[in-house]
Amino acid sequence: MAELSLHGVSKSFGSVLAVDGVDLGIAHGEFVVLVGPSGCGKSTLLRMISGLEGASAGRILIGGRDVTNVAPAKRGVAMVFQSYALFPHMTAAQNIGFGLRLARVPKAEIARRVAEVAETLQIEPLLGRYPRELSGGQRQRVAIGRSIIRDPQVFLFDEPLSNLDAALRVRMRLEIARLRDRLDATMVYVTHDQTEAMTLADRIVVLNHGRIEQVGPPEELYDTPANRFVAGFIGAPAMNFIDAAIEAGEGGEPQVRFGPVSLPTGRAHDVAPGPVTLGVRPEHLYIATENEADFRGRVEIVEKLGSESLAYLQTNFSAEPVTIKLAEHPALHPGDELPVRVARERFHLFEETGAVL
Amino acid sequence: MADLALVAEPVKRFNPWPAVIFIALGVLALLFLAPTAGVLLSSIKTTRDIALGQLWTIPSQLFWGNYAEVLANPAVHRYFLNTLLVTAPATVASIALGSLAGYVFAKLPFRGSNLLFLVIVSGMFFPPQVILIPLFRLFNALDLIDTLYPIVIIHTAMGIPICTLLMRNFFATVPNALREAAILEGANEWQVLTRVALPLSLPALAVLATLQFTWIWNDFLWPLIFTQSDEKRTIMLGIVNLQGQYSVAWGVQGALSLIASLPTLVVFLFFQRYFIKGMTMGAVKG
Ligand SMILES: Nc1ncnc2c1ncn2[C@@H]1O[C@H](COP(=O)(O)OP(=O)(O)OP(=O)(O)O)[C@@H](O)[C@H]1O
Ligand SMILES: [Mg+2]
């Protein structure tokens, strides 16, 4: 069993605290995706798990064994780099078999296992080629081959697909999903790509400034973000944030008020009056009839994306345009006035500190 | 409109500079080639021809006697062997040590390593004559005078700065991710060096091998100082020695000079095919 646990893991580079006291338990066979803005410490955390970077503080356990001070190769981890990191002077087969050669595995055995891996990844015809003779996707497949041949307990991926073009990225994403189902291993995957994170992850870890903001299944992070940061980070296009205030309404029920709009907070618990931020996703705003509309917005720009469209609305209560997601080809033009309704169950309220209300 | 006028009426003015530069370079090339041509010419003339002062004329007939004489001379065999015994180990040792040091400076930096690197590289600008007497005393005390050891040791030491500089700079272009990938596959630093960094640095190794081999092979100073008997002389001293045995030795000297420069030519021709760039291509995205 290869569960992975991090206890208070920190890393500082001089005065920079890149990873700050991360506690995380990952179950055997789980696929965990690390996301966060650039420089938040994703790669550093991954490299500490791999052993390429030592931890400044904390402990790392793999399969119950404390590996904090164990050499990288002895941790039972394999890593796939964003840059592939294939050895240019070796053929694909030699790249894949490199670790086994170092371990002095007999030649016939190496050949057999390389062939096996090549079959899994469908790269048999490429085995004799050098990296420079391979396309980006093929190189990444060879790099994955090199990582799976030694049967590691934990796979680490650092943005493995970000050097590929969009179409190839989708194909490789599917392939990694298949790999995840076929290999009985724990995987930690760093990405910038929302779709990759949402589609691949059993659980997503959102990092910011070296700290974990929230951990949970993709739907949970989407539906119930723990704070404003996670709410803004998960989901594309990003959530709309609107300055609002809580006021005691008639009948004592608190209301959230922004501009001319007043909505029941709909929260079971008491919400104290005061300034808040209202967060609502573009897909939770609808064009409504005049009667049902909460507010009106003037269309500034319409982006038609094919399967859906985005409209950016100017309103009298928000400096930023409010984004709204619409069906395929709406007959909208800049300057149109739209009546908009907020989905009652789907908006979020955040304190000034960013925590969810 | 202005553009049109330019196209319609191309102004072709005579630019004298390419011609001037071409002529200057041609003259320089001739000046450099002249001594070699002189040596070549005298090596295929009889002693009598040379004695008649016809140094620059084309000989009426080719005379191979000088070459035969040189090649049959057992002393010359000895010179060649001695030179090889100095050049091969010193070339290998300086490149090996330079590679080790260069790898550390490029991939395993430590506190103060940049300063140390500068100190080592500054050794390149050190005039060897300054340490000539101390070195002589040192090797004399070690009872190594009139052996080949001092020459090997000095050439190894003096080659380290350039080898370290070149190897460090080449290793610095090997992506760090390659080292890390190898380490995750179970390689230790030695294996990273020998299986990844060095194979990717063949161009640098080839340049260094050629440079060091030529430099050490052609050296005159150190063998002159540390060897005395004819038994221990190297080829460059041997060329001069031949002078003593014949009244006029231009012919044999010329022949030996040309024969003595063949090994460096062979080394160059052998290694030049590695003088190619782009070995790291395909390692990372590109
Ligand atoms: N070797 C290092 N020396 C000094 N600082 C470093 C080093 N490696 C990373 N850092 C710093 O640590 C922080 C986290 O870096 P890290 O590479 O983990 O970010 P990341 O989340 O992977 O970013 P990205 O999404 O851009 O890859 C950054 O502020 C970075 O500048
Ligand atoms: Mg990173």
Question: B180-216, pLDDT tens digit by residue?
Answer: 999 999 999 999 999 999 999 988 999 999 999 999 9
Q: How far apart are the first and last CA of chain B?
A: 44
What global pTM score does this model have? 0.83
| CATH number, position A184 | 3.40.50.300
What residues pair up with B10 in beta bridges, in sequence order? none
The domain boundary, picked from A171, A192, A225, lies at A225
Q: Is there a contact between B185 and A130 if contact means CB atoms under 8 Å apart?
A: no
pLDDT at A309 over 50: yes
pLDDT at A70 over 80: yes
pLDDT at A101 over 70: yes
Task: Work out the number of other CB atoms within 10 angstroms of the CB of residue A16.
Answer: 11
Q: Is there a contact between A89 and B185 if contact means CB atoms under 8 Å apart?
A: no
pLDDT range class, residue A268, cuts 50, 70, 90: low
pLDDT range class, residue A1, cuts 50, 70, 90: low
Is the CB of residue A128 below 6 angstroms from any atom belonging to ligand 1?
no
- A24: containing domain: 4-225
The confidence score (pLDDT) of residue A17 equals 93
pLDDT at B33 over 80: yes
The phi, psi pair for A190, rounded to 5°, reads -100, 135
Q: Using CA positions, which residue lies closest to atom 31 of ligand 1?
A: A39
Among candidate residues A152, A150, A171, the one with its CA nearest the CA of residue A160: A171
Whether residue A357 lies inside any domain: the answer is no
How far does Cα A98 stand from its chain's mean position?
31
Q: Are residues A221 and A266 in the same domain?
A: no
Whether residue A320 lies inside any domain: the answer is yes
The domain boundary, picked from A202, A225, A248, lies at A225
pLDDT range class, residue A357, cuts 50, 70, 90: confident
Provide the 3-class DSSP secondary structure of residue A17: strand
Question: B106-139, pLDDT tens digit by residue?
Answer: 999 999 999 999 999 998 888 888 889 999 999 9
Atom of ligand 1 nearest to the CA of A47: 18
Cα–Cα distance, B173 to B202 (Å, whole number): 13
Q: Is there a contact between A73 and B186 if contact means CB atoms under 8 Å apart?
A: yes
pLDDT at B244 over 60: no
Mean pLDDT of A327-356: 87
Q: Are residues A55 and A78 in the same domain?
A: yes
Measured between beta carbons, the chain B residues lying within 8 angstroms of A87 are 178, 181-182, 196, 283
Q: For all residues of chain A together, what is the average pLDDT?
A: 90
Cα–Cα distance, A218 to A269 (Å, whole number): 25
Whether residue A176 lies inside any domain: the answer is yes
How far does Cα B13 stand from its chain's mean position?
44
Q: Are residues A343 and A312 in the same domain?
A: yes
Provide the 3-class DSSP secondary structure of residue A219: helix
* Interface-testing mutation among B174, B178, B185, with chain A (most A C-beta atoms within 10 A): B185
Residues 6+ apart with CB under 8 A from A142: A84, A86, A92, A95, A96, A121, A123, A126, A131, A134
pLDDT range class, residue B282, cuts 50, 70, 90: very low
Q: Are residues A55 and A204 in the same domain?
A: yes
pLDDT at A27 over 80: yes
The number of folded domains in chain A is 2
Q: Are residues A23 and A64 in the same domain?
A: yes
Q: Are residues A202 and A277 in the same domain?
A: no
Q: How large is the C-alpha radius of gyration of chain A?
A: 25
Q: How high is the ipTM of this complex?
A: 0.85
What residues pair up with A211 in beta bridges, in sequence order? A208
Whether residue A233 lies inside any domain: the answer is no
Structure tokens at B252: 């044999």
Cα–Cα distance, B28 to B22 (Å, whole number): 10
Which bin fits B182, alpha (ψ -120 to 50), beta or left (φ > 0)? alpha
Q: Are residues A70 and A205 in the same domain?
A: yes
pLDDT range class, residue B1, cuts 50, 70, 90: very low
pLDDT at A105 over 70: yes
What residues pair up with A119 in beta bridges, in sequence order? none
Residue A291 near residue A353, CB atoms below 8 Å: no
pLDDT at B280 over 70: no
Mean pLDDT of A255-265: 84
Task: Label each residue of chain B as H, E or C.
Answer: CHHHHHHHCCCCCCCCHHHHHHHHHHHHHHHHHHHHHHHHHHHCCCHHHHHCCCCCCCCCCCCCHHHHHHHHCHHHHHHHHHHHHHHHHHHHHHHHHHHHHHHHHHHCCCCCHHHHHHHHHHHHHCCHHHHHHHHHHHHHHCCCCCCCHHHHHHHHHHHHHHHHHHHHHHHHCCCHHHHHHHHHCCCCHHHHHHHHHCHHHHHHHHHHHHHHHHHHHCCCHHHHHHCCCHHHCCHHHHHHHHHHHCCCCHHHHHHHHHHHHHHHHHHHHHHHHHCCCCCCCCCCCC
Q: Are residues A125 and A254 in the same domain?
A: no
The confidence score (pLDDT) of residue A201 equals 94
Residue A132: closest CA among chain B residues belongs to which residue?
A: B282
pLDDT at B169 over 90: yes
Q: Are residues A44 and A124 in the same domain?
A: yes
Q: Which of A88, A98, A99 lies closest to B282 in CB terms?
A: A88
Q: Are residues A154 and A47 in the same domain?
A: yes
Whether residue A235 lies inside any domain: the answer is no
Distance in Å, CA B173 to ligand 1 centroid: 21
In terms of Cβ atoms closer than 10 Å to its own Cβ (0-12, 13-18, 19+), residue B250 is buried
Among candidate residues B56, B73, B57, the one with its CA nearest the CA of residue B65: B73
Whether residue A81 lies inside any domain: the answer is yes
Q: Are residues A245 and A211 in the same domain?
A: no
The pLDDT > 90 percentage for chain B reads 57
Q: What torsion do the CA atoms of B160, B165, B170, B175 make, to the nearest 10 degrees?
A: 110
Distance in Å, CA A43 to ligand 2 centroid: 4
Structure tokens at B225: 């100082």
Cα–Cα distance, A333 to A313 (Å, whole number): 11
Provide the 3-class DSSP secondary structure of residue A140: helix
Is the CB of residue A38 below 6 angstroms from any atom belonging to ligand 1?
yes
| CATH number, position A328 | 2.40.50.140
Q: Using CA positions, which residue lies closest to atom 17 of ligand 1?
A: A43
pLDDT at B285 over 50: no
If you search the block for the tokens 């690197």, which residue do you land on? B117
Q: How large is the C-alpha radius of gyration of chain B?
A: 25
The domain boundary, picked from A225, A249, A273, lies at A225
Q: What is the spatial order of strands in the sheet that A4-13 belongs to?
A: A16-26, A4-13, A57-62, A65-66
If you search the block for the tokens 């390659």, which residue do you land on? B178
Whether residue A232 lies inside any domain: the answer is no
Q: Are residues A217 and A266 in the same domain?
A: no
Task: Work out the number of other CB atoms within 10 angstroms of the CB of residue B102.
Answer: 28
Mean pLDDT of A329-339: 85
Q: Which domains does chain B have, with CATH numbers?
A: 81-274 (1.10.3720.10)
Cα–Cα distance, A109 to A131 (Å, whole number): 23
pLDDT at A275 over 60: yes
Whether residue A273 lies inside any domain: the answer is yes
Question: B150-168, pLDDT tens digit by residue?
Answer: 999 999 999 999 999 999 9
